[in-house]
Each structure stands twice: as C-alpha cells, then as structure tokens.
Structure 1
Amino acid sequence: MGVEFVDLFDKWASSYDDTVSGNDPEYREVFEGYEEMLEKLAELSLSPVMEFGVGTANLTRKIINQNKVVFGIEPSKEMRRIANVKCPEAAIYDGDFINYPQLLTPIRSIISSFAFHHLNTDEKKQAIKKYQQQLDPDGQVIFIDTLFKDEAHKQQLIKDAEKAGFLNLAQDLQEEYYAYLEELREMFLEHGFEVSFKQLNKYAWLIQAKKGE
C-alpha cells in the first residue's frame, strides 16, 4: 500500500471516530449509516477473520462482540495505539493490504471498511491475487468502500461536493484511488471470485467476493 497515506492516518487518528460518527458535515454523507454498515460486515464475516485497515478498531470490536476470532492489520502507529486501547484482547499487527505478517491460522474472511481505496490499481490486483491464495476454500472477501459506478457518477459526486462547499471531499474524490465498479469486478473475476455489489449510501458500497469452486 502506498506509504503516502500513513502520515495522514497518524494525523487523522485522534479525530477519526468523530468524523465517522457524523459530526463532520463535510463527510457526513460518506459515513451515513456507519454503525449499521459495520454491524452488517461483522455479521457476514466467517471466523477466523483477517481485518485490513483496522483504524480505531470500530469494526474489530463488533467482530469480537460476535465471539469471532479476528486478526487486525493496520499501518498507522497512532491508529494501532487507539485500537489496542479499545480492543486490548485483539491481535493487531503492523502491516497493510499487501505486506503483512503471514499467519498459520486458516482464514475464512478478509474484511475491511473504508480503506481499500488507498491502494492504486496495480496494488488492488496484487492484494486480490494474494487473498485468493490465502483464503480457505469457503473463504470470502468482504469490503465496504466508496466506489464509482462509472466516470459520469464520479463527476457528479465531485460536482455535488463542490456545490455544497465540501472542497476537501471533492479533492479526495479526485486524488484518492477510488475504483470504478466494473473495473473492480473484473479484478475479482480474474482471480476466481464470484463477486456482488450493493450500494449502502450515496458513496459506500458493500463488496462481497466468494472463492469459486
């Protein structure tokens, strides 16, 4: 994963929970229904779970509360610090979507919330290929992330953000590596996954990819 985002994560750690809770008007629509989305993601996961981009461990806590085993991966030192306080019983490792400690425990679910877009196109392909090899035969990848339906959808979201005066959000939509839906579908299909997409709010989508027979 691009190291260019790690400093941003460290700076964002102290205010991340406030942002996802809807207290920042600029990002309120991005995280609309945040708690419900994470709850759904935790419910869909099969244990043992590997979670990438743990952040401040909001999803980690929900998985633990469902009595599932979770191994967390997080590149930001500050995010890990907060996550370890929130979930002291969890195993949270330094790493990212591609470079992470190899676990001997079989993994049935690889999950993430609002983080996969920090990988560029080539990195996304590398990660998906790696997950196909690591997951159990009944394994699955389940992500929640911002996606663009197509270029027209991307431009409309940017226009809406600019019209509302949300210039930081508009810049994010242009500069971060948000995937186009069909582009991401092809990446999963190429590596033998059966994949489905469900829109959860104006920005966020549920991506569920199961290993094929």
Structure 2
Amino acid sequence: MGREFVEIFDEWVHTYDDSVNGKDVEYKDVFVKYNEILQAVADVATGPVVEFGVGTGNLTEKLLSRGLKVVGVEPNRAMREVTAEKIADLTLIDGDFLEFKVGITPQSFVSSYAFHHLTDVEKARAFQIYAEQLPTGGKVIFADTLFDSEMAKQEIIAFEQKRGHANLVEDLNREYYTTVPVMEKLITDAGFTVEFSKMNNYVFLIDATKK
C-alpha cells in the first residue's frame, strides 16, 4: 500500500464506519452497497486468506464468518488497534500490498477500497508478487474504485466538483485511481485471468485467477 497515505487513516479511523454506512453525504455514492460488496469478496475467497488494508475489520469479519483462516495486513497503527479490539485472536501484521511476511501459503489475496493507493507500476509489481505466491487456481479478489476510461474518470470528478464535494474531488485527484483496461492488462500480464463486475458507480469487483 502506498505508505504516503498511511497517516490519512489516523483521521479516518474514528469516522470510517460511519462513512461506509452512508452517514457521510460526500462519500455516500462511493459506499453504495458497501456490505454487499464486502460479501461478494468474501464469497469468492478460499482459505488461507491474506487480507490487505484491513482497516476497521469489516471484510475480515465476513471472511471469518465463512470459517476461513485470515491473516490481516494493515500499515496504519491506529487501524490495527481498532481491529485488534474488535476481533479477538486475529493475526494482524504491519505490512502493505508489496511488503508482507504472513507465514502462511495463501490461497487468496483479498482487499477492499485500498488498492488505489498504489501507482499503476506498483499495482503491476504487486500482481507479479501474488503470482509467485499463489498456486494454480489461486485467487486475488479486490473491490476497488475503477473507471471505465480516463474520460469517465474526469467526468465523475467534474460531477463531484459541481456538487461541492471538495474532499472527494481531492481524493480522486490525489490517489492512483486507474481504469479497467489498464488494470486488466497488468493483471493478465502477471499470468491471471480476470473478470470485472461493476458494483456501484465507483467500485468494481476484481476477480483474478492464477493460470
């Protein structure tokens, strides 16, 4: 995960759950069907699972409810503390999408609302790492903000600007949101097949399977 964004979550840690549950009007459209999106990720995963960007543990809980073994990877200390209080006996380490020592052989890598913290070059490198660690048929299941095209991204930014959503516009311009065609190429170049499912106006489910 792009470590330059880690401190942002010191501010988000106490309000994140309110935001994902629709209480922050500015981000409401980003989190439409939030629980369905997390469930869609959890439903595809097989264990053992490595979850990147655990945050406050919402996806983690859905994975554990399916009886899956989960190791959580979270670079933000405050988020790790919140999740450790919420979920007893969870193995939770300081790490990110590119650097992690989990001590298991994963069958799935999963994440929600976090992969955009990597540049496209870093995203490609991440999938190369996952390909090295997964067995044939292993999964990478990420839910993240993607756009159908660069034009579609700019249209959304202009739309949110007109709505006066300055914080969301800042996020969209600052972080590394990419397009479906770019994501598809970097994933298939790493030796995966991939399917994209649009979950809301911002978020796609990325379901990649190692060949």
Q: TM (normalized to structure 2)?
A: 0.97
For 1:129-208, list aligned pairs within 5 A. 129-208=128-207
Shift of 1:56: 0.4
Aligned CA RMSD, in angstroms, stands at: 0.9
Q: Which residue of 1 aligns with 2:14?
A: 14
The equivalences for 1:31-70 within 5 A come to 31-70=31-70
Which residues in structure 2 correspond to 1:105-124 (within 5 Å)?
A: 105-124=104-123
Paired residue secondary structure (1:9) = helix
Alignment of 1:99-110 (within 5 A): 99-103=99-103, 105-110=104-109
**Whole-angstrom distance in 1 between the partners of 2:76 and 2:209:** 29
The CA deviation at 1:2 is 2.5
Rounded to whole Å, the distance in 1 between the matches of 2:2 and 2:131 is 21
The residue type equivalent to 2:134 in the other structure is L
Q: Does 1:95 align with 2:95?
A: yes
Partners in 2 of 1:206 and 1:182 — Cα distance? 14
User: Structure 1, residues 104-158: CA drift from partner, whole Å, max 9, x if none?
Assistant: x221110000000000122111111000000122201000000011111011110
After alignment, is 19-28 or 164-173 more displaced? 164-173
User: Partners in 1 of 2:72 and 2:183 — Cα distance?
Assistant: 23
Moved over 3 A (4+): none
Aligned equivalents of 1:70, 1:102: Cα separation in 2? 10
Q: Which residue of 2 aligns with 1:128?
A: 127
Alpha-carbon separation, structure 1, partners of 2:101 and 2:174: 29
TM-score w.r.t. length of structure 1:
0.96
Letter in 2 for 1:114: Y
Secondary structure of the structure 2 residue equivalent to 1:210: strand
Amino acid at match of 1:187: L
Letter aligned with residue 78 of structure 1: A
What's the offset of the Cα at 1:172?
1.2
- Count of residues in Structure 1 that have an aligned counterpart in Structure 2: 211
Q: What is the identity, as a one-letter code, of the residue corresponding to 2:78?
A: E
- Specify every segment of 5 or more residues in structure 1 that has no aligned partner in the other structure, as ranges: none
Amino acid at match of 2:92: I
Query: Structure 2: 5+ residue runs without aligned partners?
Result: none
What secondary structure is seen at the aligned counterpart in 2 of 1:22? Answer: coil
Q: Shift of the alpha carbon at 1:200? A: 0.4
- TM-aligned CA deviation for residue 89 of structure 1: 2.2
| 2:4 is equivalent to residue 4 of structure 1 | yes
Residue 78 of structure 2 aligns with which residue?
78
**Counterpart amino acid of residue 25 in structure 2:** P
SS at match of 1:174: helix
User: 2:123, 2:90 → 1: CA distance?
Assistant: 26
SS in 2 for 1:107: coil
- Helix, strand or coil at the partner of 1:161: helix
